[in-house]
């Protein structure tokens, strides 16, 4: 068959590769010839499984004839089992795979075990279909684990999988519940993966990205605490979630992941995402930016570094040095609003404040794009200036105090008939600022009457803003 990309077996409809020096695949050779060929081939290179249908008999022979290493473990070299069909239970437990190990497009019709196996290079199962249970527990893979586009029909539960570089789970479909403890020293890519029965991933990796992933049932991605003792790193490295574009985050909980570089723009159901764990951390505003620090998601950093007000651009960092697509302030406000809702649903009102602040900042920035003297921009700016959008109590109270002090001086100089000292001015200013309904006692000049009028409205507004801000800080 030309499409297979190799010389195929003479048997009708068999796409198995011809065993070297014969016209049939290893499965269709007569037993005496087959055994000789197997012995010869297993010692060198296991590329004779391409497209072959492997039944239980052949599997027994394959496993029996495999050479063993010094420590007694079966060894297979350069396995290429592209499009092979394994019809019986496959047990490669404790096997050592030297050189290539490719099972791309293979179908495992029954159970399949790689428990304790060791892959000296990458393990490739691209597009493989696992129809029975599959177990990679205690497997050590020195380079990549590639499970892209693989399909798992049954539930899976893997303990202690070690991957020396990256794990590729792009396009994986898991029909039942999946659970795995995986160390992947570089990246874990879950793009477009579909976890219909939910997944629990305990991961140790540098970065993890979830673009386009979907979680059919409650799922958890958290920092794993398992390490092989000799490989444990000296410093704790918290896995960094870097992207959730187009992912459906309904049902997902992330715990103890570093979110400081995470992109949220384009994620679905962001308000349903649950964020837990004491190590879960967002980026914060730069040290040089204003007085009060708050959470500022990576995309706000990017926007401020690229398109924000000129004077501050330098102090904001581009996540990972990339530029990419810069979200608009309206989009950022929406992201903040959804993250805030997620915190509020978790009954964490004080935690929601930072997201609320970010949301208001982005609304103000968005209004500014329509002109500095745009009414919404002016109102939001006033709200920001007087009380940090009703979240910064100290700002409202400091404002009130300054106004009273300034007013006390104004009263002393212009507001009252001559002969009244500053203490009287201070008393009048205090009384005016704290009494909306009752005017302070005393005689005033025309200017003094105006001071009283202004203070009687401004004072209670600032007091109310301050009280509101205090309340939002302590509310549970
Ligand atoms: Zn054949």
Taking ligand 1, which is a single-atom ion, which protein residues have CB atoms under 5 Å away? 9, 11, 14, 16, 25, 28
CA distances to 331, 411, 428, 437 from 407, rounded to whole Å, are 43, 6, 9, 19
Tell me what pLDDT residue 413 has: 87
Report how far ligand 1's centroid is from the alpha carbon of 126 (Å). 23
Report how far ligand 1's centroid is from the alpha carbon of 38 (Å). 15
Report how far ligand 1's centroid is from the alpha carbon of 9 (Å). 5
Tell me what pLDDT residue 475 has: 65
Query: What one-character-per-residue DSSP string does 133-163 give?
Result: -EE-TT-EESS-EE-TT-EE-S-EEEEEEEE
Report how far ligand 1's centroid is from the alpha carbon of 56 (Å). 15
Report how far ligand 1's centroid is from the alpha carbon of 77 (Å). 22
198-252 confidence digits (pLDDT tens): 999 999 999 999 999 999 999 999 998 877 766 677 677 889 999 999 999 999 9
Report how far ligand 1's centroid is from the alpha carbon of 8 (Å). 7
Report how far ligand 1's centroid is from the alpha carbon of 154 (Å). 29
Report how far ligand 1's centroid is from the alpha carbon of 79 (Å). 18
Tell if the pTM clears 0.95, that is, is over it: no
32-54 confidence digits (pLDDT tens): 888 887 777 777 778 889 999 99
Low pLDDT (below 50) residues in the chain: 1-2
Tell me what pLDDT residue 2 has: 46
Tell me what pLDDT residue 1 has: 43
Q: How many Å apart are CA 340 and CA 330, to the nearest integer?
A: 15
Q: How many Å apart are CA 175 and CA 159, to the nearest integer?
A: 19
């Amino acid at each position: 068959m030309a499409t297979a990309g190799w010389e195929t077996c003479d048997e009708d409809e068999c796409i198995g590769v011809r065993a070297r020096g014969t016209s049939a695949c290893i499965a269709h050779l007569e037993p005496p010839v087959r055994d000789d060929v197997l012995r010869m081939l297993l010692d060198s290179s296991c590329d004779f499984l391409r497209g072959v249908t492997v039944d239980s008999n052949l599997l027994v022979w394959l496993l029996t004839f495999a050479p063993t290493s010094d420590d007694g473990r079966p060894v297979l070299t350069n396995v290429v089992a592209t499009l092979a069909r394994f019809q019986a239970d496959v047990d490669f437990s404790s096997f050592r795979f030297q050189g290539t190990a490719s099972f791309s497009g293979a179908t495992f019709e029954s159970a399949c075990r790689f428990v304790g196996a060791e892959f000296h290079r990458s393990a490739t199962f691209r597009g493989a279909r696992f129809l029975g249970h599959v177990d990679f527990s205690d497997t050590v893979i020195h380079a990549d684990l590639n499970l892209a586009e693989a399909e798992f029909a049954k539930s899976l539960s893997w303990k202690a999988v070690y991957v020396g570089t990256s794990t590729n789970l792009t396009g994986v479909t898991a029909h039942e519940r999946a659970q795995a403890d995986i160390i992947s020293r570089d990246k874990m890519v879950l793009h477009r993966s579909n976890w219909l029965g939910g997944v629990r991933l305990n991961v140790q990796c540098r970065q993890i990205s979830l673009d386009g992933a979907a979680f059919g049932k409650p799922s958890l991605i958290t920092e794993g605490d398992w390490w092989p003792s000799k490989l444990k790193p000296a410093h704790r490295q918290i896995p960094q979630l870097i992207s959730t574009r187009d992912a459906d985050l309904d049902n997902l909980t992330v715990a103890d992941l570093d979110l400081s570089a995470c992109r949220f723009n384009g994620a679905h159901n962001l308000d349903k995402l649950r964020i837990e764990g004491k190590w879960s951390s967002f980026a914060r505003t730069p040290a040089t930016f204003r007085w009060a620090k708050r959470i500022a998601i990576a995309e706000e950093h990017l926007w401020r570094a690229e398109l924000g007000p000129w004077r501050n651009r330098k102090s904001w960092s581009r996540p990972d040095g990339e530029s990419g697509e810069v979200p608009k302030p309206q989009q950022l406000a929406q992201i903040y609003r959804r993250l805030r809702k997620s915190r509020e649903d978790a009954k964490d009102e004080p935690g929601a404040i930072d997201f609320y602040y970010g949301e208001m900042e982005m609304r103000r920035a968005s209004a500014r794009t329509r002109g500095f003297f745009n009414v919404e921009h002016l109102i939001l700016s006033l709200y920001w200036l007087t009380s940090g959008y009703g979240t910064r109590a100290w700002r409202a109270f400091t404002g009130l105090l300054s106004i009273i002090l300034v007013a006390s001086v104004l009263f002393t100089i212009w507001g009252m008939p001559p002969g009244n000292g500053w203490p009287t001015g201070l008393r009048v200013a205090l009384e005016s600022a704290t009494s909306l309904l009752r005017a302070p006692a005393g005689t005033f000049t025309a200017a003094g009457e105006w001071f009283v009028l202004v203070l009687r409205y401004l004072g209670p507004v600032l007091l109310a803003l301050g009280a509101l801000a205090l309340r939002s800080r302590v509310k549970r």
